[in-house]
Amino acid sequence: MSSPAPTAAPPLFAEPTPLGLLGLSIGCAALLPIAFGVSLSPAALRTASMFCLLFGAGGQLLAGLMALANKNMLGGTLFTTFSFNWIMNWWALAGLAEGKLPDPAVVLSVDCTFLVIFGVLTYAFGYHSKLLFAFLFDIDVLFVARVAKEALHMPQLGVIVAVCTVALIAISLWIAFAILVNPVAGRAVFAMPGPMFTPASPPNTPPD
């Protein structure tokens, strides 16, 4: 007589993805006046830096740690890694408010590494949802523009960064609202499309 299959333990926390995405969208919103050149005063830089620290970094760090505790390695890794980048945004903006510039060579090197990281994660999240794929692809385009802007000394590429930031806010809010609202409404008020990619069949398992 075979023993019953072990049941998976329930997650330790509620789904933390909306928390991370809402924090991301608020942090991005704080950067928009700076990205579009509307407000570049020390007061604007200091104000944006605090939103980056509290919502961009704090919200995503908390969401990432909760996701890891729930054994969601992919989401937890993304949120936690990205949260530290938001801490750097806070540090850079606070420094700019005092006239202190980050070293461009170091920033360029790190942005190139981020581009590789997010490129691979874009592929991985494509196995979950087309919208998550679009979310990561938007980040890829943003970092391509950042790298090109820094490497080629083309400040006009900042417009692409700003537009990608707007798109990031929109996609983040849509996914967060879908996770929060759809279960309550009992229907897909905010549509979530299926996977972009289909995983390969496990070894020795015939395809459907």
Per-residue pLDDT reduced to its tens digit, 66-107:
999 999 999 999 999 999 999 999 999 999 999 999 999 999
Closest CA to 121 of 110, 132, 109, 108: 132
Closest CA to 166 of 38, 41, 49, 77: 38
CA distance 116 to 41: 33
When pLDDT is averaged across residues 23-47 and rounded to a whole number, the result is 95
Ramachandran bin of 6, using left for φ above 0, alpha for ψ from -120 to 50, beta for the remaining angles = beta
**Percentages (nearest 5) of helix, strand, coil residues in the chain:** 70, 0, 30
- CB within 8 Å of 129: residues ≥ 6 apart: 192, 193, 194, 195, 196
pTM: 0.89
CA distance 129 to 60: 20
CA distance 51 to 5: 47
Ramachandran angles phi, psi of 36, nearest 5° = -90, 0
Residue 1 pLDDT greater than 50, yes or no: no
pLDDT tens for each residue of 181-208: 999 999 999 999 999 999 887 655 554 4
CA distance 1 to 146: 61
Contact present, 27 and 51 (Cβ < 8 Å): yes
pLDDT tens for each residue of 128-187: 999 999 999 999 999 999 999 999 999 999 999 999 999 999 999 999 999 999 999 999
CA distance 9 to 108: 43
